[in-house]
Amino acid sequence: MAIKSTIFKAGVSISDLDRHYYGEHALTLARHPSETDERMMMRLLAFLMFADARLEFGRGLSTEDEPALWQRDYSGTIERWIEVGLPDERTLRKAAGRANAVVVLAYGGKPVDIWWGKEGKALARLDNLSVYAIDAAQSNALAALAARGMQLQCTLQDGQIWLTGDGADTVLIEPRLLNGRL
């Protein structure tokens, strides 16, 4: 019998002062049995960074033709394709051909630098690709906020993301842009 996904509920209040986006979202995240809290929280961070009424989570790790998150317009055109982790070049080229914008949130510390050193030159040729690196200490602190029921306050300003959890723990995330534009 297969192990089922674990369901996490997150109530988030977002104040994005850079994009002038303010919203309340009740999110349901299904964490695949092979997914870590860190990866799940990176998916949540991606939602917070690009929050929109039409931004939605993909079907998960077992679905290869879908990203971690995507945003489609009313006609079905993919406006934004978001991946987390260290995807291969082939996956990102394919995504760049299907979507208006592709975003990668790379995390994990030194492996990010190794991945970017190997794939960066080829990926930099994709005009619609933005790659952000999240420091390992910051992604670990973000993972520590994971709980089955979360209430989070998020403020984005000047490229910084301040995330406060239920226990008043505050995490500062400072994405480092490797490629693309802010």
Rounded distance between C-alpha atoms, residue 151 and residue 167, angstroms: 9
Domain range annotation of the chain? 6-179
| DSSP secondary structure letter of residue 133 | E
Q: Tell me the per-residue pLDDT of 56-113, one tens digit each, with 9 for 90 and over.
A: 998 765 556 789 999 999 999 999 999 999 999 999 999 999 999 999 999 989 999 9
3 state DSSP class of 8: strand
Given the candidates 3.10.310.30, 1.10.240.10, 1.10.287.1060, 3.10.640.10, the CATH classification of the domain at 6-179 is: 3.10.640.10
Region 114-141 average pLDDT: 95
* Tokens at 139, concatenated: 């992604």
Residue 175 near residue 126 (C-beta atoms within 8 A): no
**The token pair that represents 37 in the structure block:** 């809290």
- How far, CA to CA in Å, does 144 sit from each of 100, 173, 175? 33, 13, 18
Verdict on whether the full-model pTM lies above 0.75: yes
**What is the C-alpha to C-alpha distance for residues 152 and 150, in angstroms, rounded to an integer?**
6
